[in-house]
Amino acid sequence: MRARLNALLCLAALAGLTLASPDAFAQKYNGRGHAPTIDAVRPPAPKGPRGDGGYRGPRGGGRGVAVPGIIMTVPAMLPPGGGRFIDDGSAEDNPRPARRSQRAARRGTSSAPPPGERRFVPDEVVIEVASSVNARQIDALQRRHRLTRIESRTNQLSGTTMFRWRIPDRRSVAAVVRALEADRIVASAQPNYLFTLQQNETKTAGDPAQYELAKLHITEAHALSEGDGVRVAVIDSGVDATHPELAGSVVESFDTLETPVTPHKHGTAIAGLIAAHGRLMGAAPKARILAVRAFDPAGVRATGTTFDILKGLDWAATHDARVINMSFAGPSDPAIHRSLAAAHAKGIVLVAAAGNAGPKSPPLYPAADANVIAVTATGADDSLFAQSNRGRHIAVAAPGTQLLVAIPDGGYELSSGTSYAAAEVSGVVALMLARDGKLSPGKVRAILQATAKDLGPKGRDALFGAGLVDAHAALVAEDAPALAATPPGVERITAETR
């Protein structure tokens, strides 16, 4: 054995290699994390494809000789500029590391739509690149993947540039997304998902009594706060800013769509539930509405896409929104998740409708996102709205069954849905922020849940969350324990679990 080892040492010396014992090597390099080494002591190497017994390094980076108890430093095997190969086959400390989407693709995860998912535009993709990528590189990327540019936008929340591109041939969205994820200048790629507004039953005319005011203790809360000056962004369909209920409430508007602006029932109703101050009383009558049209106005079930929602979120964040109301639902969306996380980090409170897909539906987004307060709907008798989604991500409940709401052209109607419950909670949040502008999103959630009226099974549950929101109790609460973690069973989305 000693003779064989001496022979190997001589051969290594002739080849310009350095051999060191594990103890000596550790003493020299321990804790520095930058030595160009093979990190693990390799076992005796199996026969290679050429039958020479050589060990082929990760990613085919040359061959070494495995000797028990010996660590070999082999500069010739390293990537340009150095680096450290580790056992999982990735290169650490490489000055040109693979981007997140590329690493994800190699691990077998991807933002391509999962099997059976059909809630996306069938011939479009949404692409994200670093803002440093120049026009020439973008043009080359477009040619390389045979795509047609539709629009682009610099995203202030993420510090990147977003593109919406059309697939002009018959390739599938999944195939194009996977190909883009393997491209070195693409930070992320995904479908242009479709989301729908969460409105269900509608009846013209009805009792003008607003039972939700008593349920939420809104009148008592208004003695302390009316939401003065708090900006609430409503990402929805078109809002009728001329409606008497909203006179002076809509301070700015933003249209993400190319079609002519048409006021729509849903967006007008949502804005009214937050800030109405005429025949109706909104939860926060002195709040200021930022009206963001991101949903096509055709029909009750208007749809919006990933790209338009991203534009709306970014605009709202850069126009000082303190609350963003999202009364829509759809699939899990990686790009929207990243924007929501950035908005949450800026101190913006995010509120979303749980969804109206019923008890058998999987969680819908953005409500199921960990950064969002998910709101379900109840009726005048505190019963759960039958079509409400269930799940442990539900945070709180608010009235949403048969509410009298404002609609375009000065009209009113009775309507139901978790959309309306979310709007009421957004209004209550505006009351809280007007009274204490330093409240963080986490603190707002904690107070709402700690002061809610328990409904259904004792304690927090998958039907009502923590219970029915109490606006007055939330305003007078001196303190509420912050939630330490997401409740069991709630999916917490991160960039690594896309």
* Residues labelled catalytic: 236, 266, 419
Indicate the SS3 state at residue 103: helix
146: left (phi over 0), alpha (psi -120 to 50) or beta: left
Q: Is the distance from CB of 348 to CB of 322 less than 8 angstroms? A: yes
State the angle between helix axes of 173-181 and 100-107 in degrees (0 to 180), rounded to the nearest 10. Answer: 120
Indicate the SS3 state at residue 116: coil
Q: What does the DSSP assignment read for 132-160?
A: T--HHHHHHHHHHTT-EEEEEEEETTTTE
Indicate the SS3 state at residue 37: coil
Pairwise CA distance, residues 395 & 413, whole Å:
28
Q: Is the distance from CB of 303 to CB of 320 less than 8 angstroms? A: no
Pairwise CA distance, residues 414 & 102, whole Å:
50
Pairwise CA distance, residues 210 & 216, whole Å:
11
Rounded to a whole number, what is the largest CA-CA distance in the chain?
Answer: 99
